[in-house]
Amino acid sequence: AQTVTQSQPEMSVQEAETVTLSCTYDTSESNYYLFWYKQPPSRQMILVIRQEAYKQQNATENRFSVNFQKAAKSFSLKISDSQLGDTAMYFCAFMKRPQGGSEKLVFGKGTKLTVNP
Amino acid sequence: DGGITQSPKYLFRKEGQNVTLSCEQNLNHDAMYWYRQDPGQGLRLIYYSQIVNDFQKGDIAEGYSVSREKKESFPLTVTSAQKNPTAFYLCASSLLGVSKETQYFGPGTRLLVL
């Protein structure tokens, strides 16, 4: 079974600064996807970024980038130029690469990020 | 606008009562999912469906039932057998196919027991 661990229950950052959220996972699979989702106070789960394990290049999406270390099973999220609207719970999630069907997402417990003005 | 809708936003259940949560998507996605979120926890999978009239149990299916009569709709019934139903319920959907399986979520339904 896969597990996802987010070791930082809460973090804070000043507006315009950079913050990194940590995520480690455990799996015996070689083909999989990793995701970061954001859950603001509205509680809607919003996709931030996605990484395919077979790709060595780290994914980026505007101010959001990841540091994917496959051997270390680490998948951290870096938020640059933090904005007040980035305040949210951030969840790291793992998915086995489906074989013709669908697979579940396995979530960590989340990191609560607060961006201070 | 394409998206996933869930209703109601809040739902109250009395003891012994079955309640149904609605999930509809107009994204033409093949697969649909139900997750449960408890305070301080990540999401856990209840049921999922890849095709009409077919669905599979997730990790915590006991006390829940689903149906998939239309591609667009995947309602979840919380039965009286679910002894601790208070939680936030999120519906998701995705395409099927290599590199297309990203799951997108609806706004959620908060279920409370009276």
Contacting residues of A for B101, CB less than 8 Å apart = 33, 95, 98, 102-103
A28 touches chain B (CB under 8 A): no
pLDDT tens figures, B30-41: 999 999 999 888
Q: How confident is the model at residue B1 (pLDDT cuts 50, 70, 90)?
A: low
**H or E stretch including B77?**
strand B76-78
Closest CA to A44 of B35, B75, B102: B35
The pLDDT, as a whole number, for residue A98 is: 80
Nearest-angstrom CA–CA distance, B78 and A104: 20
Please state, in angstroms and rounded to a whole number, the distance separating the CA atoms of residues A29 and A12: 33
pLDDT at A42 over 70: yes
Which of A104, A106, A109 is most worth mutating to test chain B (most B CB atoms within 10 A of its CB)?
Answer: A104
Lowest mean pLDDT among A15-19, A63-67, B11-15: B11-15
CB of B99 within 8 Å of a chain A CB? The answer is yes
pLDDT per residue as tens digits for the range A24-41: 999 999 899 999 999 999
Q: How far is B68 from chain A (nearest CA, A)?
A: 16
Here the tokens at position A42 are 């509205």
pLDDT in tens, B84-105: 999 999 999 999 877 778 899 9
Contact B43 A35 (CB under 8 A): no
Amino acid letter, A35: F
pLDDT confidence of residue A46:
95
Mean pLDDT of chain A: 94
- What pLDDT digit, counting tens, does each position of A56-68 carry? 899 999 999 999 9
Pick the closest to residue B44 from B56, B61, B29 (CA basis): B61
Q: What percent of chain A has pLDDT over 70?
A: 100
Quick check: B101 contacting A, CB < 8 Å?
A: yes
